Structure 1
Amino acid sequence: MTETDVLVPWPQLDQRHGPWPDGVRVHVWDGVTPASELPQDALDAVEFWVMPYAVPDADRLLPRLPRLRAVQSLSAGVEKLQPLLPEGVTLHNGRGLHDASTAEHALGLILAAQRELPRWAADQVAGRWDPHFTRSLADSRVAIVGYGSIGSALEARLLACEADVVRVARRARPDERVHAIADLPELLPGLDIVVLVLPENPATVGLFGPKEMAALPDGALVVNVGRGRTLDTEALLAETATGRLRAALDVTDPEPLPADHALRHAPGVLITPHVAGGSAAFRPRAERLIAEQIRRWAAEEELLNLFPRP
């Protein structure tokens, strides 16, 4: 490729990751600067766009990119973005960028719930202490439902905490000791903790519902760091209202969660606002991916992380 224009979300990437290949012209849009300030003649030439991360309406720029051929998202879940792209434009996701951050956050949610950290924090502020034994992650049986790259990263951390890990994915992979989602009915009664790391698609919406929750033993913990709609909110509210199940959620349905939503006040429920992937570990990994993708683009090599069209 002799000359090509790319649009990236951060400036000075070449200073941290080496000079850009010959013929590559780099433009910057962070998603915060008004798009109206971007010169149209520069946008007319852009062929490869790295979208700014966590900017909900960044796709508003698409109509102004007539020569666009490839889009790199820094998010792992791109199901809602794909239908917006013109025919012939390839989409590449941020698979792997959030593995460490999300796994770390999931582990934090589990430990906070098992060791009752919210209760201790409340007692600290109230000026009282009520020492008692709590549950433990060690020796707990934990199922990771959606065993991909994030699930694998979480497994490593759980094993370090001496938990017993059960791998569950869409399809069974006996050679990797991975159960199929269809096996959940027989697995659930023996679990202490279930961690959902599922994408949102027609097969996963509402996948973990009343039947699945009813199959869990009393006191089990349901964790969701995937997508909110994979978990039935009403069923979860019914189970937590009685104290039978507990939950630790980074994603919810609806999302964002209204200030007066019942989940916010449900007993035994810990919630964070979809921030599992947002840590200092993200930026360096994202920059390395961008640099590698631009190198491949300039060399006319296959780009990483292609998200297939349905």
Structure 2
Amino acid sequence: MTALTLSVPTDELVADVTALLDPALDIDVVLWDGQDAPPRDRIDIVVPPYMRQGRMLARLPELECRLVQAQAIGFDGVEERLPPGIVYANAASVHETATAELAVGLMILAQRGLDRMVHSQERGEWHSFRMPGLADRRVVLLGFGGVGKAIARRLAAFEVDLVPVASRARDEDGLHVHALDELDELLPGAEILVNALPGGEETRHLIDAAVLGRLPEHALLVNVGRGPTVDTDALVEHVRRGRIRVASDVFDPEPLPEGHPLWSLDGVFISPHVGGNSGAMRPRIARLIARQAERMARGEEPENVVIRT
């Protein structure tokens, strides 16, 4: 039986994945980061670099490949870059916990004024002040997939009034999930709007001037979904007027350019797209890659498949 060949982009992943693989299975792990020509004519599973997969996707026509295993959850814009016959899987199960952790952290930072405390400490000044906090606040959560559910589980401990919103209404995980077409009537009571939606044309600029305008004064927008889901120009206008506060991990454009208004406006906290990039990522991505390789070596279907070309 021919060995299954798996490529990973770093020496670290070579070591981590190799240590996890069942030695009874014939799986060959090779190093390839997509910068140069592929090391084999056939690589059954290709793992691109984290957050930098464009060059590798462009090289896929140069080899025979069965599966591209991404290291990120999002996959907007990927399908049109894949050659025919490729299966693409995302990294569901790897980043949800860390992204939810950051989302709650951004909420606490903004709702308790932690950034103000840091600045006061830098100046050696003692200032006591009252902030809204999280308890008893109404949180409208856009998106109830893996990340959204992980956020919801963590917010339960903070005694918030949680209102999940997804593409369709349903009862799930002990919560009533509202349909997206109900959003307009939910926004006026949303003290915090959390975006955990995926990217793509269906969600592009979903949070626009009209949506922002329906939020109450001084509401907080937390974005751990995708940057283009928010109309950045509309956001800047609302922040500049002092209507909306923002604590965001993703932006459009990204990286946020030098001199962009969001860098200097009051009421904005910027996190540089690090939602899933915690210490939990390394062991979790290694386990996912090893699991995929073992499944395919046994003739089973891969998990997390989101695109088939």
Q: Residue 171 of structure 1 corresponds to which residue in structure 2?
A: 168
Secondary structure of the 2:305 match is coil
CA shift for structure 1 position 57: 3.8
**Which deviations, in whole Å up to 9, do the C-alpha atoms of 1:236-271 show, x marking residues without a partner?**
111111212111110111111111000111110111
Secondary structure of the 1:276 match is coil
RMSD: 1.9
Structure with the larger RCO, 1 or 2 (CA within 8 Å, 6+ apart): 2
Q: Residue 160 of structure 1 corresponds to which residue in structure 2?
A: 157
The AA in structure 1 aligned to 2:29 is V
CA shift for structure 1 position 285: 1.1
Q: Residue 269 of structure 1 corresponds to which residue in structure 2?
A: 268
CA shift for structure 1 position 18: 4.0
The AA in structure 1 aligned to 2:22 is P
**Alpha-carbon distance in structure 2 between the residues aligned to 1:153 and 1:51:** 26
**Alpha-carbon distance in structure 1 between the residues aligned to 2:187 and 2:177:** 15
1:19 equivalent in alignment to 2:22: yes
Contact 2:58 2:81 in 1 (8 A): no
Question: Which structure has the highest strand share of the two?
Answer: 2
**Alpha-carbon distance in structure 2 between the residues aligned to 1:80 and 1:266:** 31
**Which deviations, in whole Å up to 9, do the C-alpha atoms of 1:3-48 show, x marking residues without a partner?**
221212312235531434433222123x3xx833x6x5x4212121
Q: Residue 259 of structure 2 corresponds to which residue in structure 1?
A: 260
Q: Residue 77 of structure 1 corresponds to which residue in structure 2?
A: 74
Structure 1 stretches lacking a partner, 5+ long: none
**Alpha-carbon distance in structure 2 between the residues aligned to 1:58 and 1:116:** 41
CA shift for structure 1 position 58: 3.9
The AA in structure 2 aligned to 1:183 is E
Secondary structure of the 1:248 match is strand
What pairs with 1:101-250 in structure 2 (closer than 5 Å)?
101-174=98-171, 177-250=176-249
Contact 2:227 2:253 in 1 (8 A): yes
Q: Residue 4 of structure 1 corresponds to which residue in structure 2?
A: 4
**Alpha-carbon distance in structure 2 between the residues aligned to 1:126 and 1:13:** 44
Give the TM-score taking structure 1 as reference length.
0.92
Quick one: structure 1 residues 14 and 219, their matched pair in 2 at CA, closer, same or farther if it must change by over 3 Å?
closer
The AA in structure 2 aligned to 1:96 is S
Contact 1:48 1:70 in 2 (8 A): yes
The AA in structure 1 aligned to 2:35 is A
Contact 2:85 2:308 in 1 (8 A): no
Secondary structure of the 2:88 match is strand
The AA in structure 2 aligned to 1:111 is I
**Alpha-carbon distance in structure 1 between the residues aligned to 2:99 and 2:67:** 26
Quick one: structure 1 residues 86 and 57, their matched pair in 2 at CA, closer, same or farther if it must change by over 3 Å?
closer
Alignment counterpart, residue 48 of structure 1, candidates 14, 27, 45 = 45
What pairs with 1:49-64 in structure 2 (closer than 5 Å)?
49-59=46-56, 62-63=59-60
Contact 2:100 2:148 in 1 (8 A): yes
Contact 1:96 1:150 in 2 (8 A): no
Give the TM-score taking structure 2 as reference length.
0.92
Contact 1:20 1:295 in 2 (8 A): no
The AA in structure 2 aligned to 1:246 is R
Identity %: 39
Contact 2:142 2:195 in 1 (8 A): yes
Structure 2 stretches lacking a partner, 5+ long: none
Secondary structure of the 1:22 match is coil
Contact 2:17 2:286 in 1 (8 A): no
CA shift for structure 1 position 211: 1.1
**Alpha-carbon distance in structure 2 between the residues aligned to 1:263 and 1:14:** 40
Q: Residue 284 of structure 1 corresponds to which residue in structure 2?
A: 283
